[in-house]
Amino acid sequence: MIKNRFIKNVLCFFCVCFFSVANAEQFCLGTAPVSAPEENFLKLDNGQLLHLRTNLVWMRCAIGQTWNGETCTGEAEPYTWKQALELSVGYEFNASTNWRLPNIKELSSITERSCTRPSVDVDLFPATPPDDFWTSTPSMNDPERAWVVAFFNSSNSIKEKNRTVFVRLVRTALPFEREPD
């Protein structure tokens, strides 16, 4: 009887530990080099970031979320690839309509490869779903698929265009937004 209770307690302990880790917050390796350091970004007004290395302005929140001055609130909304492309045409945010869906290289440039779930700096891009985000890059081998960046582990893969995936838009910085040399 005591042995069975001990075994049950040990099993419960391992289940609690396992499920706690499985549902844990972001995990970053302290010994790994940082791939997208915070100093590479300049915080602009109203939920925008200028990536100094690429001269791109990023929305801090995914489409569906709202910047409240400190963080992203609400739920990110998934879209098909076609919907994401259509959404980006003429999308207005912070008095700009130059937003677009980023290509695979652009979106990959903001991933933090030393972190998982999500693989992005959560101080810069708070409440980022640890999931796939569309890019504008179609598959060269399969016209029914396009590239995504996975923000759970910063990997890239192709997905069927009719699947629904999250969206973050980007635009090229205007001359007055660039940091002086």
- pLDDT value of residue 146: 98
Euclidean distance between CA atoms 44 and 51, whole angstroms: 10
pLDDT digits (tens, 9 = 90+) for 137-176: 999 999 999 999 998 887 788 999 999 999 999 999 988 7
68 falls within a domain: yes
pLDDT digits (tens, 9 = 90+) for 100-132: 999 999 999 998 766 767 778 888 999 999 999
- What is this structure's pTM? 0.80
94 falls within a domain: yes
14 falls within a domain: no
- pLDDT value of residue 114: 66
Supply the range of the domain harboring residue 153: 34-173
122 falls within a domain: yes
Q: What is the CATH number of the domain that holds 80?
A: 3.10.100
pLDDT at 8 exceeding the cut of 50: no
16 falls within a domain: no
55 falls within a domain: yes
4 falls within a domain: no
102 falls within a domain: yes
Q: How many structural domains is the chain composed of?
A: 1
Write down the mean pLDDT value for the chain: 83
Answer for the pair 76, 64: CB distance below 8 angstroms, yes or no.
yes
